[in-house]
């Protein structure tokens, strides 16, 4: 075992900066406070960069004010490392309500996350991109839910994005590079972030619609992570607390490594629906804001859960993924 760490990064998701109707109808009531706290903790723990798996903003009535607040909190935090964000479903939510076009939502995401200022591989006007860790060459592929907010009723990825992702994974796998995919939404009844045998969250990515029509690129994504099992896929979306122990899966070695990230804005819990199934409680807990501190070594990646409220590492939620030699 090689104990000399290559680098460290913080892993967060579902920040949900929320200023609906100018702050009159805020749903995610702890979002601003929790982001400020997390940035202080991340800075103090010596992280080289931050990965955010999507839903930086809530975007129920337009995201202009939310994006300004998001940037202001980061820029005033004293944290000077890079932050690499994925586009989740909420970044495009206002397009569903006719407040903005989908193109405007994506343009705002690119601008406000400062993708044009970052050293990434990205096609013009596209919200998906590749970041390569500059010293050791590990690859971070940031996918994007580019087709809109209704995650469970659409094909979430374009042909072009899916083609590019498949080609990148094939290329970097042949080079024996460590590959992280950051893709916000979990797959329904599959993998980490929910109880696959009795799902609590209806808003997950689907392989087919209610009439059985297949979403071809959602299926291609699922096939990709089953073919390349050394990938580490990082997702958020369900907000499920670490304590529910739904954080890691490889589907019994039938797929890649899947790791779920709880919500920075405040994790939720899986509870009984009273009919033998499960649902999310949708509660907000003053003491709940979670993510991971990730330590990368030559032979393994170590994900350690962290409580950002108390600045406590949660060693009972540690996941070690060994790198294939």
**Residues 98-138 pLDDT 10s:** 999 999 999 999 999 999 999 999 999 999 999 999 999 99
Supply the mean pLDDT for the chain. 95
Q: Residue 43: is its pLDDT beyond 90?
A: yes
pLDDT surpasses 90 at 24: no
The CA distance from 157 to 215, in Å, is 9
pLDDT of residue 198: 95
| Number of Cα atoms under 13 Å in the Cβ half of residue 139 | 21
Domains of the chain: 7-322 (3.60.21.10)
Residue indicated by tokens 């929320």: 18
Determine the Cα–Cα distance for residues 114 and 110; give it in Å rounded to an integer.
Answer: 6
Average pLDDT in the 137-159 region?
Answer: 95
Rounded Cα distance between 76 and 70, Å, is: 10
What average pLDDT does range 203-227 have in this prediction?
96
For the chain, give the longest Cα–Cα distance: 54
Compute the distance between CA of residue 312 and CA of residue 320 in angstroms, rounded to an integer: 19
- At residue 20's C-alpha, the angle toward residues 50 and 14, to 5°, is 25
* Mean pLDDT along residues 154-168: 98
What's the token pair of residue 305? 């859960």
């Amino acid at each position: 075992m090689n104990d000399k760490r290559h680098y460290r990064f913080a892993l967060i998701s579902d920040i949900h900066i929320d200023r609906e109707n100018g702050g009159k109808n805020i749903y995610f009531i702890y979002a601003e406070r929790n982001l400020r706290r997390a940035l202080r903790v991340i800075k103090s723990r010596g992280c080289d960069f931050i990965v955010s798996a999507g839903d930086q903003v809530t975007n129920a009535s337009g995201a202009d004010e939310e994006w300004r607040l998001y940037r202001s909190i980061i820029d005033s935090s004293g944290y000077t490392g890079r932050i690499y964000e994925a586009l989740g479903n909420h970044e495009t939510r206002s397009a569903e309500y006719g407040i903005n076009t989908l193109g405007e939502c994506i343009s705002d995401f690119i601008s406000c996350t400062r993708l044009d200022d970052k050293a990434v591989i990205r096609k013009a006007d596209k919200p998906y991109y590749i970041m390569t860790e500059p010293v050791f060459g590990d690859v971070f592929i940031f996918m994007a839910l580019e087709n809109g907010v209704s995650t469970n009723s659409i094909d979430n990825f374009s042909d072009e994005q899916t083609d590019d992702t498949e080609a990148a994974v094939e290329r970097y796998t042949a080079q024996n590079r460590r590959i992280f995919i950051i893709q916000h939404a979990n797959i329904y009844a599959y993998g980490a972030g929910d109880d696959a045998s009795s799902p609590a969250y209806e808003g997950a990515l689907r392989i087919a619609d209610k009439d059985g029509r297949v979403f071809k690129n959602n299926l291609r994504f699922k096939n990709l992570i089953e073919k390349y099992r050394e990938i580490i896929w990082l997702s958020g979306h369900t907000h499920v607390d670490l304590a529910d122990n739904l954080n890691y899966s490889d589907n019994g070695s039938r797929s890649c490594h899947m790791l779920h990230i709880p919500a920075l804005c405040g994790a939720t819990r899986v509870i009984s629906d009273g009919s033998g199934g499960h649902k999310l409680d949708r509660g907000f807990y003053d003491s709940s804001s979670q993510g991971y501190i990730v330590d990368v070594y030559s032979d393994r990646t170590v994900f350690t859960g962290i409580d950002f409220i108390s600045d406590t590492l949660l060693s009972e939620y540690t996941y070690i993924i060994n790198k294939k030699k």
